[in-house]
């Protein structure tokens, strides 16, 4: 059984998707938020998951907050730490402490559009497709080895909200898949590439949603 700790800042819809997936061999040990009013805490508690709050406003620096956060996380002996809408830039020391066991999801097809305002930037760039990426976290923001991606079309008349909603559907599909692969021991990081052991033939780490998704 692999212990998983999920970090959220708000609703944590990707956390919900992972919990609802009921991945065999995975135990959601805790959901931790950096905001006391994070709505996802109620969902986690309702599902019998331990919850904690480490309020970043109570700490004088990012380093102090990350140190306190890591202490709480480590109390649950995690095999994997999952960032699910956790809106904090983590220090290098924190990232290195969880190297190889820290996953994030980003709402673009990395390496395109790292950072914030991804959907608006995609629309302004005139791209024909957008999407989402699950990746291992490294000290460089949104640049870690890619585990899986999903692509969605950019449709005529799309605005930021419409595109974001279409991408979010795919986030909820691929994040549980990435966690499942980790729990099954099927992810192998080779340099900056991730191999999925026993993956079906096709482009590694790339998934196209079913028609109508």
The residues carrying an active-site annotation are 106
* 129-136 and 146-153 beta bridge pairing: antiparallel
125-130 long-range contacts (CB < 8 A, ≥24 apart) are 127/154, 128/153, 128/154, 129/153, 129/154, 130/154, 130/163, 130/166, 130/167
How far apart CA 32 and CA 29 sit, in angstroms, is 10
Radius of gyration for the chain, computed over Cα atoms and rounded to the nearest angstrom: 17
DSSP state of 127: -
How far apart CA 176 and CA 105 sit, in angstroms, is 11
């Amino acid at each position: 059984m692999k212990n998983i700790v999920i970090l959220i800042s708000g609703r944590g819809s990707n956390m919900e998707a992972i919990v609802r997936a009921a991945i065999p061999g995975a135990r959601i040990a805790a959901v931790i938020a950096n905001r006391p009013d994070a709505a996802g805490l109620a969902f986690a508690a309702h599902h019998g998951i331990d919850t904690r709050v480490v309020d970043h406003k109570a700490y004088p620096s990012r380093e102090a907050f990350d140190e306190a956060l890591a202490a709480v996380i480590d109390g649950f002996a995690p095999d994997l730490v999952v960032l699910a809408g956790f809106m904090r830039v983590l220090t290098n020391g924190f990232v290195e402490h969880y190297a190889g066991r820290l996953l994030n999801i980003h709402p673009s097809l990395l390496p395109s559009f790292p950072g914030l305002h991804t959907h608006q930037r995609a629309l302004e760039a005139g791209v024909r497709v957008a999407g989402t990426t699950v990746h291992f976290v490294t000290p460089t923001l949104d640049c870690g080895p890619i585990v899986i991606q999903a692509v969605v079309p950019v449709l005529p008349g799309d605005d930021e909200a419409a595109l974001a909603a279409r991408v979010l559907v795919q986030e909820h599909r691929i994040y549980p898949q990435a966690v499942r692969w980790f729990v099954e021991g099927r992810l192998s990081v080779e340099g900056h590439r991730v191999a999925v052991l026993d993956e079906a033939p096709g482009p590694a780490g790339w998934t196209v949603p079913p028609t109508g998704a």
